[in-house]
Amino acid sequence: MATPLLVIVGPTAVGKTAVAVECSLALGGEIVSADSMQVYRHMNVGTAKPTTEELRGVPHHCIDVVEPDEEYSVARYKADAEAAIADIGARGKLPVLCGGTGLYVKAVLYGLDLPIVAADWDLRRRLEDEAQRLGPEQFHERLRQVDPTAAARIHPNNVRRVVRALEVYMLTGRPMSSYHRLDHALSPQYNVLAFGLTMPRAALYRRIDARVDDMMRRGLLDEVRWLLEHGYSENLVSMKGLGYHQLAPCVRGEVDCDTAVQLLKRDTRHYARRQFTWFRAEPVLQWIDVSATGGVEVTAGAVCQAWKRP
C-alpha cells in the first residue's frame, strides 16, 4: 500500500507552516519542507524558516541541507524528500509535505524522472554571457527552438531557468521537458490528500507587506551583510532569492533601505501570483480560503477532519 502523505501548499505568507504544524500535532506528523530557499544554511530570516517556537516540537525535514554556495537541484531535493517521507512513514508517523516551490512538490508527488546532470560551469557561464548579450527575449527564443514545452513554462525574464534548460539539453541531447513529464495523466506515487491554501489577494498582499516589515525588524539586512562579508557572491543561486537580491545593493550603499524594502514587497507579491498560477493547475489540490474559514486553527481542523474521514 502506498505511503500516506498529507500535502499543504500555497503562496508565500498564506500560513502554510502554521497550518502544517497544527495538523502535525493533531495527527502525529512530521513536516517535510518543499521550499527551494530553506535548504540553505545561514539563510534564516529571508527564507522565513520557522523558528523552534513556531515548530512547537514538530520535526522539520529538508531544511539547512547545503551551504549557500553549494548547488542543490530538484533531483537532489526529490531524493532527500522521498527518503524523509519513507523514514517518517516507517516510524508510524504521518509525513506532511509543506511548501510553496511548485516543482519540488510535483517532483515528489509524481516521482518525476528528473535530469541528474551536474552543472557544467564553463557552459553555464557561456550561456549566461550569451543571455546578457542577446537580452532575455531573444535568448528565450533559443530555448523555444529546442524545447518549446519548457519555453512555454519558463518566463523569458527567468534567465537562470532558461540557462539551466538549455544546459540540460546541450549536455544530454534531451529537452528538459522530456524529463519533467508534467502532464496531468500522471498519478501520485503516494496515498495523497492535498490542500492548497488561499485568501483574497488584497489580504495576502497585506500579509506579505507585514512579513517583510517583520523580517527587517528581525535582522534581514544584517543577515544579507553577514553573507556578503563571508564571501557568498551575489551571483549564487541562493543569493538571488527574495530578500537577498533586493537588499544586497542596500548593504553596498547603492540604494536606500526604504527603496529596497519596497522593491522586496513588490517582488514578493509578483512571486505569490506566480505560485498561484502554478498551483491552480494542480488537479489533486482541494482549496481552502484561510480567511473564510476563520484562521489557522480552523483551517487545520478542516484539514484534519478531511484526513480522518473514511
Spatial separation of the C-alpha atoms in residues 155 and 152, rounded to whole Å: 7
Please give the average pLDDT of every successive group of 10 residues along the chain, which has 310 residues. Answer: 93 97 98 98 97 96 97 91 97 97 92 73 88 92 92 87 89 80 67 96 97 98 98 92 96 95 97 93 94 92 91
Spatial separation of the C-alpha atoms in residues 64 and 133, rounded to whole Å: 36
The answer to whether 199 and 289 have CB atoms below 8 angstroms apart is yes
Spatial separation of the C-alpha atoms in residues 191 and 89, rounded to whole Å: 12
Domains of the chain: 4-112+183-308 (3.40.50.300), 121-180 (1.10.20.140)
Q: What pLDDT score does 54 carry?
A: 95
Q: What pLDDT score does 185 carry?
A: 52
| Secondary element (H or E) of residue 97 | strand 94-99
Q: What pLDDT score does 116 carry?
A: 64
C-alpha distances out from residue 268 to 53, 119, 160, Å: 25, 28, 18
Q: What pLDDT score does 180 carry?
A: 59
What is the full DSSP assignment across 164-216? HHHHHHHHHSS-HHHHH---TT---SSEEEEEEEE--HHHHHHHHHHHHHHHH
Nearest to 58 by CA among 31, 85, 93: 31
